[in-house]
Amino acid sequence: MSSRVLLLDIEGTVCPIAFVKEVLFPFFSGKVPSLVSSGEPAVEELLTQFPQDKQQCLQEYILELVDRDIKDPVLKQLQGHVWAQGYEQGEIKAPVYRDAIELIRRGGEVYIYSSGSVKAQKLLFGHVADPDSDRRLDLQPFIRGYFDINTSGKKTEAESYRRILKDMGREARDVLFISDNELELDAASEAGLNTLLAVRPGNAPISSNKGYEIVKDYSAL
């Protein structure tokens, strides 16, 4: 495959899917009570963007969104705010796969597309756990750009990938999208991108037989 540009998903693709559900989500949920009552201007501005009929029960509403893994744009921004503090205080490091670290470092033109906010993406790649030590790695210098549901739209819609191509200034045939989600690959394929289905430890079993080429290790890419 001769694609010159990589567009990478995050959870289940470059880091374990459990990191988000078992580390990031619980970390955020534990901060929600103090967050709602913090009075911090940046937080208050986000909270007012939730539906008016939920303003009297914000804590319960936010936790419900997290539990149901709802891709709410306001929630994603709020999570990014909380995770920023966790990363910066050393409470969180992202367990990016060793071969994914190597791929990003040598990949040339690498872009990220995740349902998590661009802010959260930058925090993750700026605070990567070094697989060989206790140090923190910063992969941001190797990444050309970031896309999320606010900048580009839902990952299961072909139009989102067309927007990304336009922002990149690239033709679809030049871009390889790697994800563990077949619905996302469907949308990317419809937009003309090359695709690979990531199969990593802990990912859900492949639910269909759509014929996507599988990648289990990025060393050969």
117 marked ligand binding residue? no
Q: Is 207 marked within a binding site? A: no
Q: Would the CATH topology of 5-17+93-215 be identical to that of 20-88?
A: no
Beta partners for residue 177, in sequence order: 7, 195
Residue in the block written with tokens 């995050």: 10
Q: How far apart are CA 128 and CA 116, in angstroms?
A: 16
Name the class of domain 20-88. mainly alpha
- pLDDT averaged per 10 residues, the chain (length 221): 85 94 93 92 93 93 93 88 91 96 92 91 96 95 96 97 98 97 97 97 82 93 88
Entry pTM: 0.84
DSSP-based three-state secondary structure for 34: helix
Asked whether residue 9 is marked as a ligand-binding residue, the answer is yes
53 annotated as belonging to a binding site for a ligand: no
The dotted CATH code for 5-17+93-215 is: 3.40.50.1000
Establish whether 155 is an annotated binding residue.
yes
Pairing of strands 136-137, 175-179: unpaired
The domain spans of the chain are 5-17+93-215, 20-88
Q: Is 115 annotated as a binding residue?
A: yes
φ, ψ of residue 82 to 5 degrees: the values are -70, -45
Residue 193 buriedness (CB in 10 A; 0-12 / 13-18 / 19+): buried
**DSSP 3-state of 36:** helix
Radius of gyration over every alpha carbon of the chain, rounded to an integer in angstroms: 18
